[in-house]
Amino acid sequence: MTRKIANPDNPQPKQLRVDWHEWLMLNAVVTRSPPPDESYRVTVVVTTELPHDHPQLATLLDADRVVIDIETFTDGRVFGLARLLRDELGFDGDLEVSGDFLPDQISFLRRCGVNAFSGEDIVRDAFNFYSGFYQPPRAGIDEVTFIRESRDSPEST
């Protein structure tokens, strides 16, 4: 959204935090308005109820930060939504989770593209038990061995 709500003469952005419905309204308004006086850094907070096939999902590419708020830690849709935002939409801003999640889930979340965690103080590395997984890793976020691939590397016989 910085691209949309941005004033080149005013480089100090203000923080703006909106939920999904506010975001859709904001988008509708901004596209019909002249450029604002101020610049904004926009965080959009969505829930796991956000439909994976929502026609305006791609508007999130304009957000600076997307937060997926989790009501119950067993709601595994968060993993699917995170992956969708990263891999399918190509969202490259910060992707955060907030709400009810366990430190034990951080490794799973990171491997789906989440790179920020809010809430309680979390000592991330204390819950990082694995040096490799069978699934393809995510470059830049998840620096662990891809077991399937390492079996095919020249050193491994």
Contacts with another protein, residue ranges (CB under 8 A):
52, 73-77, 79-81, 83, 88, 102, 104-105, 107-109, 111-112, 129-136, 145-152
Least distance in angstroms from the C-beta of 61 to another protein: 17
The answer to whether 93 and 64 have CB atoms below 8 angstroms apart is: yes
Distance of closest approach, residue 117 Cβ to another protein, in angstroms: 15
* Residue 121 vs 129, nearer CB to another protein: 129
Q: Which is nearer to another protein, 3 or 151 (CB)?
A: 151
Cβ of residue 108: shortest distance to another protein, in angstroms?
5
Cβ neighbors of 119 (< 8 A, separation 6 or more) are: 98, 99, 101
Is residue 80 within 8 A of residue 109, CB to CB? The reply is no
In this complex, which beta carbon is closest to another protein, that of residue 25 or of residue 102? 102
| E-only strand ranges, the chain | 14-19, 40-47, 65-70, 94-99, 116-117, 132-133, 145-146
